[in-house]
Structure 1
Amino acid sequence: MGDAFLAIDFETAAAGRGSACAVGAVLFEGGEGQTVAYTLIDPQIPESEWEPYNTFIHGIRPEDVRAAPRFIDAWEQIVQAFPNVPLVAHNASFDMGVIRAEFDRAGFEPSQPMPYTCSAVLAKKAWPDLKSVSLPIVCELFEIELDHHHAASDAAACGKLAIMAATALGAGSIDEALEKVGRRWGEIQPDLSYSTGYVRGRRQR
């Protein structure tokens, strides 16, 4: 499996996307996860804004992130350590929404377009008879190890699933898999507008 990519996953503290409290990222090269990175993030919101349901899901509490880096610092530590590598996320609209919301909140503009795609979309194309492509369901089906809602584990599982889907599609890379299913990499632009990767899609804001 050719071409490197960075599988990524975020957990959030509140209902809004701009409340990241953890990020996990796994660099995949040659079809294998090579580097795993994980950190908690201080979402810099009042404790009263933390959603109890979110905490119930991922187990992260306000006291856990008091000494954690801000989003932009975590982004520089983890994601910018792998420049020019496209991102892959499961249900990418959520994770890319987190990135865009956090960039907007920090007044940060990426220096160049950021390509991304969605492992859930690839799974739907590879196995159209699946009733659900939710991460825990497909991981159980394909025996992919998963500690669901731990960002590093979710990212690793997402990357493995993307590779399995590409292989099932008869592709040797994520690039080739996207081409086979009539898609391309989506992009987050420096002005934080984005495209979804649909070949006939329009850039959205």
Structure 2
Amino acid sequence: MKIAIIDYGAGNIQSIKFAIKRLGYDAVLTDDAAEIKAADKVIFPGVGEASSAMKMLKSTGLDTVIPKLTQPVLGICLGMQLMCEYCEEGDTTGLSIFDAKVVRFDNSVKVPQIGWNQIYDLQSDLFEGVNEKEYVYLVHSFYVKECEETICSTEYGVEYTSAIKKNNFYGVQFHPEKSSKAGEKILENFLKLELPS
């Protein structure tokens, strides 16, 4: 199986590569459109600021490549947020794969949210074998509002989308590569996904 991790200068990419290696697979880190299109699975990571990350995607033309991918794609943290239509951070227009908006936590909670929190209302084969109210690791100041495409939620001052799905596209707000056994299982489930023919 060919696994591509999109390289656009935003993301803690080595930890994702190591997590995939622990599952018995190899992943290639690439910004080459042909290589990304040819992969069986694509991971779209991201740590950092939304508007500068979008500029990086546009500079390589990946902003037009990613929405047209037909294999399973997993956006992680900022990667998931950039797949939405709009992000308040840097007043950023996203890739519009998901019909969702990304907004900042209000002042009633400590920002960024750093550490372990629970996911619940799990509604996808991405979570097969994962318990309701399992703990995962998060680091973020902005969140995806609940929407029709939400497949699991987390509560931090407000209930928000911690995973999302539309067709072959998946996104998780948490870091599966840092989320112990639950995160490893979610990554493994993603790598085993088969799209309906």
Q: What TM-score comes out, normalization by structure 2 length?
A: 0.30
- Structure (1/2) with the larger strand percentage: 2
Structure number, greater radius of gyration: 1
Q: What TM-score comes out, normalization by structure 1 length?
A: 0.29
**Greater relative contact order structure (CA < 8 Å, 6+ sep):** 1
